[in-house]
Amino acid sequence: MSARMPSELIAREALRESRAKQKTHKMPTTKMAKAAAKKSVSMPIYKRVVLKLSGESLQGPMSAGIHPETIAALALELKEVSDQGVQVAIMVGGGNIFRGGRQKSMSIDRATGDYMGMLATVINGLALQDALEKIGCHTRLMSAIEMHQVAEPFIRRRATRHLEKNRIVIFAAGTGNPYFSTDTAAALRAMEIKADVIIKATRVDGVYDADPEKVPGAKKFERITYLDVLQKGLSVMDSTAISLCMDNKMPILVFNMNVPGNLKRVVMGEKVGSIVTAAN
């Protein structure tokens, strides 16, 4: 009997230690599970986005040009989204500097005017790149027109690799071809880099059946189909861009960029603006 006592004591002591370890490990595991669950709720719903920015969104309260405070605030919003792990590509317009073929009063050939507009988008792209890099964002400017001194040429695989490395990519010079808008260029680039969504930044909070800045009773659409946009002639994006998105089932989310924090709300999945898809 006396010979078995030490063995029993050792076994009991080992059992007590094992139970104590289970208790000490139980709480951290539970806390980690809760933290992981909480984190999963606050994760962005989009992994890779193409943000379509008009040139006018950079002019702020001015009638033309680039407004320093506006572009600095935009850069902060983009950094906040990028810090959430979202891969951000931006297609920038140039209407704040030159509007291509619409400059009819100057009697400039349409193709020439479009090329001038493309160069305007490169200027905007450089300004946006500078604003982003000043706040610590790694950024690449890619141009559809080769100009090696100021921008990389657009190469699809290189653009994708930049995004995978969490660099913000700015697309400039549209498609590099006249007669195609930066809306169409945004749709094209979104397909090429396999984006989850095109986010169209505007001055109003979604898609309406009329201009809400001019028509007080304009009706807002929370969801609308590509066909309805084309048939109703709504100014979401031009018809070529909408058709391209429809053919490739690329959703378009339209929201008001002038409301601080809206961009982050969009990528986090909050109900902001309007979405254009294949079905309501």
Cα–Cα distance list, 121 to 23, 24, 58, 66, 151 (Å): 62, 60, 11, 12, 12
Q: How far apart are CA 248 and CA 56, in angstroms?
A: 28
In this structure, the answer to whether residues 27 and 164 fall within a common structural domain is: no
Question: Token digits for 121?
Answer: 């988008």
In this structure, the answer to whether residues 121 and 257 fall within a common structural domain is: yes
Type of residue numbered 138: H
In this structure, the answer to whether residues 13 and 72 fall within a common structural domain is: no
In this structure, the answer to whether residues 110 and 27 fall within a common structural domain is: no
Domain that holds residue 115: 46-277
In this structure, the answer to whether residues 134 and 24 fall within a common structural domain is: no
In this structure, the answer to whether residues 1 and 84 fall within a common structural domain is: no
In this structure, the answer to whether residues 11 and 123 fall within a common structural domain is: no
- Residue 136 φ/ψ region, left for φ over 0, alpha for ψ in the -120 to 50 degree band, beta for the rest: left
Residue-level pLDDT at 22: 53
Give per-residue pLDDT as tens, 192-239: 999 999 999 998 889 998 888 888 888 999 999 999 999 999 989 999
In this structure, the answer to whether residues 56 and 179 fall within a common structural domain is: yes
| Residue 171 neighbours by CB distance under 10 Å | 31
CATH number at residue 80: 3.40.1160.10
Cα–Cα distance list, 116 to 74, 101, 143, 182, 214 (Å): 25, 9, 14, 13, 30
In this structure, the answer to whether residues 62 and 199 fall within a common structural domain is: yes
In this structure, the answer to whether residues 97 and 168 fall within a common structural domain is: yes
In this structure, the answer to whether residues 35 and 113 fall within a common structural domain is: no
pLDDT of 29 higher than 80 = no
